[in-house]
Amino acid sequence: MWFKKKADANVELPTRRQSLYTRRQSVVTPQGFAALRRRFAHTSKRASAFMWEWTPFLLVSSYFVSSICIYTVCSQKLIEVFWYVYMITNMYISMTTVLESILSIKPCRDARRRVSLAAKTGFKSGTPPWPTADQDLPIIDLLIVAYLPNERDIIVDRVIYLCTQIVYPVDRIRINCVYNTPTPIEPLETEMHNMEDDYPNLRVVKVPGSKSKADNLNYFFTLNTGADVMAIYDADHYPHPHNPRWAAEAFMADPAVNIVQGRCVIYNSKASWLTRLICVEFDKIYAVSHPGRAIMMDFGLFCGSNGYWRAELLKAHKMRGEMLTEDIDSALRAVQKNVKAVHEILSVSYELAPTEFQGFWKQRLRWAQGWAQASVVHMPMVWNKPDKGGRSFKVRFGVFSLLAIRELSYYLVTQVRAVYYLHLVGS
């Protein structure tokens, strides 16, 4: 029996060595090196994604810990000075919020009056509040920008909606689905391109080599489409059927207007407690803060989606892909150039809000990073002279309020938590 077991072991040993040798040989082949490179690239991407996602959180945590350590050695006088600055800042923010709310009453009443008048006339062209005849309306390129791996489940539905539900002369509007994807996604891409046969005003554009929304837009800007106005939408949006008409009338009413920013509304507000809070926040931002600030500070802002630009301006303006939030950067560059932007409350578009905290965290983290970067880059417009024309004190102070005081308030809030924690420990 002992001899048999030993013999079995001796028989198996060469087989194991041979398999090990075979595996080593497979590694040194071109196919083996290619597999190793793919595995290394995949591991590197995962490590990079982990660092990108969690480094800001660790920095904020270390900032909080550092604040506590600093306040342990601060004198009582310095802490009193901090509280004074904190209270002044928050009092200013509260006052401006109240003023924005008061000033937004007039635009909201005006919007209600206009939509009521339009309903009475049956939303007919050539009569107030739509005085422009259909043949005189600007030609609009409506852009829906998509990263296909993320929007593969919704993109066809959104494109069909835009092609069939928008109330605007068909010969004056074109629906453009501008997308990018790192790898082909079939049969979806073929289906999307075949939809051009069903909808004559649809154009599906795959952007080669694109890695971002900015790349997609900048590629489309190089095309000669003959449009007068371009509208930018994210892929999760459902514009109201009358959305483009209200924006077009805003352009026709004032030739000096170069940007019309619509109102974004959350349509999955009942999905969770988080979406309910975001819905209230968006109504406050788009229906109150933006219109109120435009009156108070004498400038409007493009908000990234549901925004209409005069085509030639947007083509020259472009998007800067090196910025974390290219929409905020483009909005502030427009302010820097004295581009007139208005907020049209009736130009409504419905969008999705994150239903879970993880998605919410990633979204707001990107926004926070983007605003911090844009604030540093564009702060000089507070004291610099514009390239053309002048810049009033009201606009300069509004930019300072937006980029400096608003950003500072968030850091002050974290400091308050640190001081409060020390107070609890000391007591």
Q: Report pTM.
A: 0.83
In the chain, how many domains are there? 2
- The Cα 176–Cα 139 span in angstroms is 13
pLDDT of residue 400: 95
For residues 38 and 155, membership in a common domain is answered with no
- For the stretch 119-163, pLDDT in tens is 999 999 999 999 999 999 999 999 999 999 999 999 999 999 999
Q: What is the pLDDT of residue 9?
A: 46
**Mean pLDDT within 327-348:** 94
Q: Residue 319: inside a domain, yes or no?
A: yes
Closest CA to 409 of 100, 93, 96: 93
Decide which of 410 and 416 is more confident. Answer: 410
Domain check: are 167 and 38 in the same one? no
Residue 369: domain span: 94-410
Q: Which residues is 230 bridged to in the sheet?
A: 141, 309
Q: Is the per-residue pLDDT at 311 higher than 50?
A: yes
Any domain includes 282:
yes
Helix (H, G, I), strand (E, B) or coil at 390: coil
pLDDT digit string, tens, across residues 251-303:
999 999 999 999 999 999 999 999 999 999 999 999 999 999 999 999 999 99
Do 233 and 356 lie in one domain? The reply is yes
Nearest Cα residue to 225 out of 303, 312, 164, 167:
312
Q: Are 10 and 113 part of one and the same domain?
A: no
Same domain, 152 and 202: yes
Q: What is the pLDDT of residue 421?
A: 62
The reply to whether 8 and 110 lie within a common domain is: no
Confidence of residue 62 (pLDDT cuts 50, 70, 90): confident
Spatial distance between the Cα atoms of 275 and 236, rounded to a whole number of angstroms? 15
Bridge partner list, 401: none
Pairing of β 173-180 and β 202-206: parallel
Same domain, 305 and 195: yes
Residues 32 and 101 in one domain: no
Burial of 339 (0-12, 13-18, 19+ CB in 10 A): buried
> Does 5 score more than 60 pLDDT?
no
CATH of the domain at 228: 3.90.550.10
In a domain, 229, yes or no: yes
Do 311 and 373 sit in the same domain of this protein? yes
Q: Which of 191-195, 359-363, 374-378 has the lowest mean pLDDT?
A: 359-363
* 410 Cβ contact list (under 8 Å, min separation 6): 368
Q: Is the pLDDT of residue 2 over 50?
A: no
| Position 424 in a domain | no
The alpha-carbon radius of gyration of the chain (Å, integer) is 28
